[in-house]
Amino acid sequence: MKKIYFAGKFSLTDELSRPLAERLRGDYRARLLGDPKKLVLAQEGLELPCGVIYAGPFYCEEASKGAYTSTDCRAVLAAEYRAVEGCDVYVAFFDRSFSVGTVVELGWALQMKKEIVICYRIERSAYDISSEYWFAIANAQAQSDRVRVFGFHSLDEAVKKLLEGEFF
């Protein structure tokens, strides 16, 4: 069974008084896992309905409280690096909100010669890629023949295709 790392900027609701898992309920990874509580506790072997293993990332509780220190950042980056290293497929999910972390992880996946799937939100046409991501996508395709790129119009469409295993 393939291990898939699902990158992208975490989507939190603005309801700061609610528990973290509830605030993550709209994130595409929480929707893939079927329960946002699974996203806040690092676990091994989380199987998705499409027959793959969710390899990360998991949301760091300290980050949601604004309590990140340089030590926390090193620990989170090390955990994410190990998760990318241990996956079979790296999925970069490029939505409207730019994520430097996703681009950094994409670089790791390229160096590790991983199978890479890039999903990006189509704004107006199938050829419309956000300028923030254009270079990352073009660079990945230039570096590896193991990169596949898919566009999506809505989060629901992307999650459905991911759960059906259409991209991997």
Residues 14-57: tens digit of each pLDDT: 777 888 888 899 899 999 999 999 998 888 899 998 999 999 99
pLDDT, position 66: 53
How many structural domains compose the chain? 1
Question: Taking the CA of residue 45 as centre, how many other CA atoms within 13 Å lie in the half-sphere pointing to its CB?
Answer: 0
Other C-beta atoms lying within 10 Å of the C-beta of residue 89: 20
80 pLDDT higher than 60: yes
Q: Would 118 be classed as within a structural domain?
A: yes
Give residue 30's domain range.
3-163
4 pLDDT higher than 80: yes
pLDDT, position 63: 53
Tokens of 12: 């939190």
The mean pLDDT of 55-84, rounded to a whole number, is 73
What share of the chain has pLDDT > 70, as a percent? 90
Q: Would 168 be classed as within a structural domain?
A: no
Of 145 and 155, the structure prediction assigns the larger pLDDT to 145
62 pLDDT higher than 60: no
97 pLDDT higher than 90: no
Task: Pick the range with the lowest mean pLDDT from 15-24, 46-55, 88-97, 123-132.
Answer: 123-132
Determine the Cα–Cα distance for residues 61 and 20; give it in Å rounded to an integer: 7
- Report the CATH number at residue 94: 3.40.50.450
